[in-house]
Each structure stands twice: as C-alpha cells, then as structure tokens.
Amino acid sequence: MEFSNTITCSHYNNKQKILLVGEGDFSFSLCLAKAFGSATNITATSLDTREELEQKYRDAKNNVEELERRGCTVIHGVNVHSMDKDHRVVRSIVYDRIIFNFPHAGFHFGREIDSYTILLHQELVRGFLKNAKKMVKDKDGEIHTTHKTAHPFSDDWTIEGLAKENGLCMTQETPRTCKRVGKKNARVLVKDEDGRGEIHVVHKTEYPFMEVTVTPAPLVGKSSTFMFYLLKNNFQ
C-alpha cells in the first residue's frame, strides 16, 4: 500500500519499511500503527510464540490482533542472531529502519555489573547489529536501538563500539526519559526530553529457555535511542 501523505511519528514515517524485533506486548509497534493510521509498512516480530506472549503479557493478544487488522505483518519465533536467514522476515524486503528496543540477555546470569552478564548482553547486541546491517538499505537506511544510559549500561555495554565492529557509524543519539507502567509487564513509557511522543516498549530476553522476571520500579532510568547507518565499503 502506497501512502500519498507522509505521516511522521518521532523518527519514523509511514513511507518507511520498518522492522521491529524483540517486541514484547507489541505496544511500541501499535503506537506507530496508530500514529500512521495503518501498519502496512510495519513488520513486527517477537522471539516468543504467540502462546508465550499471551501468557507473559496481559495486552499482547489484543495488541497483536489490532496490528493485524491494521495491516501489520506480525511474525513470532524470530531470533535476531539469525533473522537475516529467516524467509518470513526477509521476504525480499530491504528495510529503511530496523528497531530493537531495550535489548537484554535475561536476568538469570547474575548482577548487571558482573562481567559475564555484560558479555552476554554485548553478544546479543553484536549479533543483532551483524544481522540487521544485511537487511537495511545501504543508502539512508538506519538501525536503531533504545538503551539505558546509566551505569553499568552506558560504560560497560559500549553500544557504539559494538556498532563500529560491524561497520556502522552513529548518526544520532536521542535522550529519553523512561518510566515503567504496570506491575505485571515489563512495559515502560518512553518520552522525548520535551515530553512529547509517548511510546510504550517492553524489556525482552533473547533466550527462549528463560523467564523474564521484572521487579516493578517507579523509574527505569535515563535512556537513549542510538541510530546507526552503514559505512560505505562495508556492504557485506
């Protein structure tokens, strides 16, 4: 479906082919769909099966069904480390934007400041970037990840360094303020610094054998959306 008018929501618009990975209750995807008035340009994916989503997230079923009514392609069981070979996701499409909000390897390895835990988080992000760069447009395509910027996330995860390893260069970092809403879901409310553009996103684990347990807190902490593009001579 081609749109005659360009409708913009934050850094995204309805004329872009958008891929979202690691979705939890799909509220981020639905926010974009509502802003655009349609979701025909959106492919939204989760690692979980639909049954697992409905068990974990109260609003997942309704959100997914509404996305599908709006024309979104919803795909479950997608691993970001192998998605470039997943024909359901690739479908001969090269994406304008690929988005992974709050990547997290899980809560069962130890404390966030432990070296082993940090290495697992880094490996998750590294694998995502390695796959995403093969699926994003060479010209004007961008890979986005929203990530906490407080210690130990900012210093130890080294998101920008992981991007450079994959031939990516950061074009922009947009600070966010994130508050968790609800006690059962790992859902957070994201606003730009000026208070506009409310978007719901979900913390997610990339490993299917783990349960995600989140202790409710009034504030998730300062976060940023990091935006990367593919450097020339790195189209591989």
Residue-wise pLDDT tens digits, 161-191: 889 999 999 998 887 665 444 333 343 333 3
Domain ranges in the chain? 8-230
Place of tokens 């990547």: 103
Beta-bridge partners for 189? 179, 200
Q: Dump pLDDT digits (tens) for 90-133.
A: 988 899 999 999 886 665 655 655 665 777 778 889 999 999 99
Question: What's the pLDDT at 195?
Answer: 41
Nearest 5°: CA angle at 2, between 30 and 76? Answer: 40
Between CA 92 and CA 145 the distance in angstroms is 23
The predicted pLDDT at position 115 comes to 66
Candidate from 13-17, 23-27, 126-130, 178-182 with smallest mean pLDDT: 178-182
If one counts every other C-beta atom within 10 angstroms of the C-beta of residue 198, the result is 11
CATH of 8-230, one of 3.40.50.150, 3.90.1170.50, 3.40.50.720, 3.30.230.10: 3.40.50.150
- Averaged over 187-216, what is the pLDDT? 36
Q: How far is the C-alpha of 154 from the C-alpha of 131, rounded, in Å?
A: 22
Residue 205: both structure tokens together: 């684990």
Rounded CA separation 204/212 (Å): 7
